[in-house]
Amino acid sequence: MNRTRIKICGITRLEDASAAVAAGVDALGFVFYDKSPRAVTVEQVYDIINALPPFITTVGLFVDAPMREVTKTLCHIPLNLLQFHGDEDAAYCEQFGMPYIKAIRVKKGEDVNAHIASYASAAGILLDTFNEEVRGGTGETFDWSLIPASTTKPIILAGGLTPENVSDAIKQVKPYAVDVSGGVEKEKGVKDAAKINAFVRGVQSVAVN
């Protein structure tokens, strides 16, 4: 049985991180974007990461952040992976000398593979719902049929995933990983342990060839 990896994004509290780790997730995402209701400070994330067990990937999410802001964050927090969710080009993403994933908001009529090709250095590509007003965390799904059957990079599927629809999403898209935030929350920025467990069960119920 091949395994779909799981990332829980928008972690703001140690208890939520602990619940996610206990449920068996692979990665935790921290949002360094002050316009997000799930935004965190360096101090918050430092305390959470220091309490984590080994082998959990920590991901810092940035949206069109000044280079010095990302660099300063990396000086204080031992992140494993960067996630860029704005209009950053490949040169920007590469300058930090760390593995990164690039988010692409999927729009009908646009060539997804052409976007992916623009980020040849990315460790993976996160596909999310396009919304003119919001950079991720929309709680809305997009048309999964717009995703090419074959891509040159591992695909992380995001956008409106929930415990109820994640198994169907995996069956259709067969992504390398899934990324959820609002779908496992009690309220914005506060996770629900029962929903996290249900989400993980939904992922684990699907064998991907």
Residues labelled catalytic: 9, 128
CA distance between the termini of the chain: 8
Distances (CA, A) of 96 to 12, 33, 58, 154: 24, 18, 16, 21
CB within 8 A of 52, min separation 6: which ones? Answer: 17, 21, 28, 58
Q: With b meaning 16 or more CB within 10 Å and e meaning fewer, what string describes 19-37?
A: bbbebebbbbbbbbbeebe
